[in-house]
Structure 1
């Protein structure tokens, strides 16, 4: 099935769970409720929530506005409902001020006209009260204390005063819902829908999608045809790809629900806002979706759920068979990554597969990433790993497309993107250190893409010259520390980049200076181990050191350096791995 078809199917489950609004409705933040008497007079004006944050309500679906004027049914912001807004002149030359002033009565007139047309002939006492209110309302009546000034530009709904305490609003009344169904069904039969196959009116415009990191706050379009270049055979807008209004509402509502703030079905993977959902409901869906979230976020994110934590640990240990036994058979998981692209959304990645197979691929990834000493936690979440690949650890500096390509490889069992190795090695050179997270990433790529049996822990007999050079460089750095203690600039600070790429040029001078470091370290009672360790490593190296190292050998150098740096005097040293800011360094103790 297509992305839109899977989202439309997900809508039915979300609606049955009360997470998504009924057909033709949308979840909106409403700040105030206007309580009306039967005669249309105002009884109360009540803030919902604290008035600033408002309360989320299911209301008749919001119209899609760009620069035009279009009113909602039975609710809207005050510029439409009451004809009042906050009009401030930015400067004496504010050319838009006159336009905003002129537009205000037009927006209010649009709201009045829509309600009068839609509610013509109604006999419902609540809807009649609204008609009486709008026929008698004047924007000049907006004043304290009945109308609070902070109400301007907020979303408002109406209620009969007798229903206010029960939180029953006009749009909840059966008569209002019947009118809205009639309005939503206008257009009758239509062509076959490309998503569902059912016949129905074609959606001219598709709803905006909100909640994508970096996209416009007003929302962006996943499907749109707003330029002539996108049109074919004279068809306009939605007629170019005929998706019914019902299917359009279903997929957009499901996607907005999954992306909503506080949703447990979304994670951020690089620049891609990623949503995921199972094709089942109830406990099986809760388990699968919770486990996948923990796979993406890291075990600490799901510490409150012991079962999920236990399953995640089994995956980390490569026990996918034990995890599969806990899952319901045939549960599919859908994963969609979206990134902003001006007023539109780009699909970064799309995956739909049996969750048991996804779990097996993740377990294989966990084995690729295993390294000793491990990060903390042993298998961090994707976001934490991506940050060590970004300059200054900032999310906005994560290389574009890298996150999606890497995640696709993890979930499908395919090759990791080569840019993953390039970026990890480059960041190690720039920051003059490897760190547990970067070491895990480098090892994983070498293991899967280059068929190198990368050692999990220190391997003194590893035949790789680059690996042994990395070990030697770590020993030289430790010798400096044993001789001089803490210094402003270590050997790694000065020479890591050169040593890992052009070893023949660097190691000669470093080895010649080793004698002085050994002598100084012995005076401090800390140098007895240095010469034997250097000698052991030198026996593994060819007489002529390589003049340059390939990218893959620079990666092996990094693994050898990490392993040896974490071992001092034959005892493992604690590795500090800061999950919060993504920066790692080895302990100096």
Structure 2
């Protein structure tokens, strides 16, 4: 089965589940804010409103795609809940009075047809009101674009009745279906297919069609519109309504990349789990937990800092469980996680990525990714799993690179090699290395370097913090630069504008043999005599390791530059941890 068909099939399965749980709106209904309610429950019609956004409950109301100029053949009113132009014929301006009258006539015809089919007494009351001159009294208060609907009792609106919902689905189906029958490309059942899709997917403020076969560029073998990929009415509406539900509900989506200049580059990840997972203890096992690696930072007003989402910590706790404990926690062995990455290309929906994996496989991929990306914090505190949102912002990833990272996180693909030069460029930036405000970017860049170097390897765990047993020359050279910086800082009592790192990091990380000689001479003659023997012994230890590894290499390639960066980052974090610990204990730094 093609991944596209698999995705549509899974969306239909999700729709059935959401309908059972009464979470999905009726067919071709969508959330609307009501401005005015015409109450027909008393002796005389009564106007309620105006309701501003939030003053009246958000309702699921009839909806359909309507576009183009309004004509006799192109009047598409919404059943019972529409704006003042359709409900009461209120024009936007005197010049548009004929258009408003055309809209109103189409609206009345729709109510008449609904009454003929359902014989609901409530619809008879609506028609009596629309035929009466009393409606003119309400026109003065209601705006042309205000949403107006009807009510016959205090508990519900008329369009919320099941008979109205059934009629609306059947009405749209009869209007949209072709005269031919064929096998639906989603469910496989033979039936009449839709000539065009009834509703759009709302993404990044764009109204996107699921298919675009009505355009000449998509015609094939003389076939137009949805003849190329026939879809029955049920599948067409359910897929669109389910996509809109996932995009609307915070539990099921995360913006991955937002571009104000090019809407096509903006990407939204939607995700769901195909069955309920019973958790154990305080860990809530749901789609938000599994999506936490790509969630956005949260802003902590108390600390005035960005923090990872709470689900990320819960995920780490789950990954820390023994594998047998995990299986006991999940209870289900055949549960799947689904994710799609969507973009809006003007009026067309673009599916950038489709991920479908079992929970057991997913946990294995997440564990491997978490081990590779986790690294000690710059302060020396224990590292944690950084959200992808932080990594994206740290190095300004392209949309394509973001999707490749998703494959690493959820499908176990190797990290993209393009990350290495990107993270290195950002890491060795003078501002990132020295500005406290850029600490998060410094941390994120180091995390990405470690991801590329250690993904799927045993070193993923041993390289989370300082590794005194790592004998790679580049790693040792990075540690050496951090030691020389610390000697300089302590010798000058931490009262220093720029350090040797600010001036020589780029040269030391690419051409160590020609750089470290002068740095060592400066350190041993000017700075080392002013500090404690502890740093002197550490310097001797690092130099001994480097001699045993073959001395200073002439030049470092990109991978070795990343190893250098990790050695420097780890050793620097170790110093800062000791410094913070000494300050907390009130002992100060030994000189």
Please indicate, yes or no, whether the TM-score normalized by the shorter chain is above 0.5: yes
Secondary structure at 2:352 match in 1: strand
Measured at CA, do residues 211 and 173 of structure 1 come closer, stay the same or move farther in structure 2, by a change above 3 Å?
Answer: closer
Corresponding residue for 1:240?
A: 228
Specify the alignment match of 1:56 in structure 2.
Answer: 58
Deviation of 1:12 (Å): 0.8
From 251, 254, 274, the counterpart of 1:279: 274
Counterpart selection for 2:147 from 125, 149, 155: 155
- Residue 489 of structure 2 is matched in structure 1 by 481
Partner of 2:217: 229
Task: Give yes or no for contact 1:375–1:437 (8 Å, CA) kept in 2.
Answer: no
* 8 Å contact from structure 1 (residues 63, 71) kept in 2: no
Structure 2 residue 36 is matched with structure 1 residue 44: no
CA 1:318–1:444 in structure 2 vs 1: closer, same or farther (change >3 Å)?
A: farther
Partner of 2:501: 492
CA distance in 1, matches of 2:475, 2:287: 40
- Give distance in 2, aligned partners of 1:476 and 1:208: 65
List per-residue Cα deviations over 1:468-492 (Å, max 9, x = no partner): 1211221222233223324343333
Match of 2:542 in 1: 537
Number of the residue aligned with 1:265: 252
Task: Pick from 22, 27, 32 the counterpart of residue 26 of structure 2.
Answer: 22
C-alpha change, 1:375 and 1:67, in structure 2 (3 Å) is farther
Distance 1:302 1:502, change over 3 A: closer
Aligned partners of 1:508 and 1:257: how far apart in 2? 63
Matched, 1:435 2:445: no
Counterpart Cα distance in 2 of 1:406 and 1:425: 17
Q: How many residues align?
A: 535
Pick from 121, 124, 138: which aligns with 2:120? 124
Structure 1 position 10, deviation (Å): 0.4
1:299-314 superposed matches below 5 A: 303=310, 312-314=316-318
Looking at structure 1, the residues matched to 117 and 458 of structure 2 have their Cα atoms a distance apart, in angstroms, of 76
SS at match of 2:542: helix
CA 1:456/1:113 → structure 2, altered by over 3 Å: closer, same or farther? same
Deviation digits for residues 74-120 of structure 1 (CA, Å, limit 9, x no counterpart): 21122332334666xxxxxxxxx96x676444434433343344445
Structure 1 segment 151-230 matched on structure 2, within 5 A: 152-160=144-152, 163=153, 165-166=154-155, 168-173=156-161, 175-186=163-174, 187=177, 190-206=181-197, 210=201, 212=203, 215=204, 217-230=205-218
Judge conservation of contact 2:267–2:399 (CA < 8 Å) in 1: no
Q: Which moved more, 1:407-416 or 1:247-256?
A: 407-416
Distance 1:384 1:32, change over 3 A: farther
In 2, Cα distance between the equivalents of 1:44 and 1:138?
Answer: 11
> How far does the alpha carbon of each residue in 1:2-61 deviate from its partner, in whole angstroms, 9 at most, with x for none?
11111011001111112101234333333332223578x63122355x446753222223
Q: Is the 8 A contact 2:201 2:240 kept in 1?
A: no
**Residues 505/377 of structure 1: CA separation in 2 closer, same or farther (3 Å cut):** closer
Q: CA offsets, 1:236-287, max 9 Å, x none?
A: 21222101111011111111111114x3122233443112112224757973
Q: Structure 1 pair 178/442, CA: closer, same or farther in 2 (3 Å)? A: closer
Matches of residues 249-398 of structure 1 in structure 2 within 5 Å?
249-261=237-249, 263-270=250-257, 271-281=266-276, 283=278, 287-297=285-295, 303=310, 312-315=316-319, 317=320, 319-327=322-330, 328-373=332-377, 378-390=384-396, 398=397
| Secondary structure at the counterpart of residue 395 of structure 2 | coil
Give the Cα separation in 2 of the matches to 1:138 and 1:185. 34
In 1: Cα distance, 2:515 partner to 2:540 partner: 18
Which residue of structure 2 aligns with residue 404 of structure 1?
A: 403
Structure 1 unaligned blocks of 5 or more: 88-96, 391-397, 575-589
Change (3 A) 1:291 1:178: closer
Counterparts of 1:6 and 1:210, CA distance in 2: 17
Secondary structure at the aligned position of 1:246 is classed as helix
Alignment check: 8 A CA contact 1:318 1:366 kept: no
Mapped contact 2:476–2:564 kept (Cα < 8 A): yes
Give the CA deviation at 1:320. 3.8
TM-score by length of 1: 0.80
Do the aligned partners of residues 31 and 319 (structure 1) sit closer, same or farther apart at CA in structure 2, a change above 3 Å counting? farther
2:477 pairs with one of 458, 464, 469: 469
In 1, Cα distance between equivalents of 2:90 and 2:382? 55
Contact 1:37/1:129, CA 8 A, preserved across alignment? no
RMSD (Å), alpha carbons: 3.5
- SS for the counterpart of 1:224 is coil
Is the 1:78–1:155 Cα contact (8 Å) retained in structure 2? yes
How far off its partner does 1:191 sit? 1.7
Q: What SS does the aligned partner of 1:264 have? A: helix
Q: Which residue of structure 2 lines up, in the alignment, with residue 502 of structure 1?
A: 511
Once the two structures are superposed, the pairs formed by residues 100-111 of structure 1 within 5 Å of their partners are 103-111=99-107
> Which residues of structure 2 form unaligned runs of 5+?
258-265, 299-306, 434-440, 582-591
Alpha-carbon separation, structure 1, partners of 2:193 and 2:181:
7
Is the 8 Å Cα contact of residues 308 and 386 (structure 2) preserved in structure 1?
Answer: no
* 2:486 aligned counterpart, secondary structure: helix
Judging changes above 3 Å, is the alpha-carbon distance between structure 1 residues 511 and 349 closer, same or farther for their aligned structure 2 residues? same
Instruction: Measure how far apart 1:497 and its partner are.
Output: 3.1
Equivalent position to 1:9, from 10, 13, 17: 13
